[in-house]
Structure 1
Amino acid sequence: MAKVVKLEPISRETTVNTNDNLLSALLDSELHVLKECGGRGMCATCHVYIKEGMESLSPINKREQRTLEVITTANATSRLACQARVLGPGVVVELPSGMYVNAVEDIESLIGRRAEQDILHPLDGRVLVEAGKLITRTMITQLKDTQVQVGQYFANTSDA
């Protein structure tokens, strides 16, 4: 049976089947979520806050807990959308402000402009480029290094 999930601050509602994860609700709402780890609960790219209905979600598992512990913007209402399955009604999700880098090439076209919103690190959620700051070539180099680190991280964890 489908459950309604509210998405804030964009004032949108979507439905998900019982036992589906919140990530499917975000993707069905055509929100740009990276799924850097492929939905394995190992990155920060689907990190959300639960404003209401935490009791209507599956419990936090050990992998999700470990990942949440390294996300710098996480708090007691944090969940990873890929791990939180919707079991009951009344879930209200607050999307964190900022965006994760999908491809460095996308950012290269922005050199010389100001970031419209925070650009976040895909593993720990820390801010790489603050909203309003000028995007420089040096920042692009740092982002490329981050992309390599993320690739190496997931290559190493898939072997384990």
Structure 2
Amino acid sequence: MATVTITIEGKQVEAEHNSTLLSVFKDHDILVNQICGGQGMCASCHFFVVDGVDSLTQPTTQEQMTLQFTKIDRPGARLACQSRAIGDGIVIELPIGTFVESERDLETKIGRKADKTLIHPMTGEVLVEAGKLVLRSALEKMKESSSKFADYLSKR
């Protein structure tokens, strides 16, 4: 079977032609969330294409809808579960930070500085930048985003 070369965070890896980036991440022990189980319904497996966008399949309709809903404010965002590697030269970066496990997890951090950027687990939205104080407003922002995301999913 044909392989392609992908650079992830500066490390080159080989992957089977037409494999999803999610499977590539798993095969190379790169931790990535997949809250929806790889259905393209959340943005927890998102990554950023730095180079080689033409070496990936075009975004699926599902991926486009999900990315339109999310609040990821960096260009080149794609979903690993929906993107397939079809050529060499793909260079990608992963989101910097950590996904918040739950509202309760975020609540325990209120009043302390975030040691890493805190990211909403489903939408990919930055809740608190690294080094900033975690405020109750971040929890409210997370609840609001979770509620909107649940509404979005229920209408599909």
TM-score range with shorter-chain normalisation?
0.7 to 0.9
Q: 2:106 touches 2:139 (CA, 8 Å); kept in 1?
A: no
In 2 relative to 1, CA 115–47 (structure 1 residues): closer, same or farther, beyond 3 Å?
same
In 2 relative to 1, CA 47–106 (structure 1 residues): closer, same or farther, beyond 3 Å?
same
Cα distance in 2 between the residues matched to 1:131 and 1:75? 17
* Identical columns (%): 35
**Residue deviations 1:92-133 (CA, integer Å, cap 9, x gap):** 112122221234566566565421221112333222222112
2:97 match: 98
Cα distance in 2 between the residues matched to 1:148 and 1:96? 19
User: Letter of the aligned partner of 2:52 in structure 1?
Assistant: G
Alpha-carbon RMSD: 2.9
1:131 match: 130
User: Letter of the aligned partner of 2:132 in structure 1?
Assistant: K
| Larger CA deviation: 82-91 vs 108-117 | 108-117
Cα distance in 2 between the residues matched to 1:110 and 1:141? 10
Which consecutive unaligned segments of at least 5 residues does structure 1 have?
none
SS at match of 2:67: helix
Which consecutive unaligned segments of at least 5 residues does structure 2 have?
none
1:18 match: 17
In 2 relative to 1, CA 124–27 (structure 1 residues): closer, same or farther, beyond 3 Å?
same
Q: Return the TM-score normalized by structure 1.
A: 0.76
What is the deviation of 1:25? 2.0
1:3 match: 4
Cα distance in 2 between the residues matched to 1:33 and 1:45? 7
| Larger CA deviation: 106-115 vs 66-75 | 106-115
Cα distance in 2 between the residues matched to 1:43 and 1:30? 21
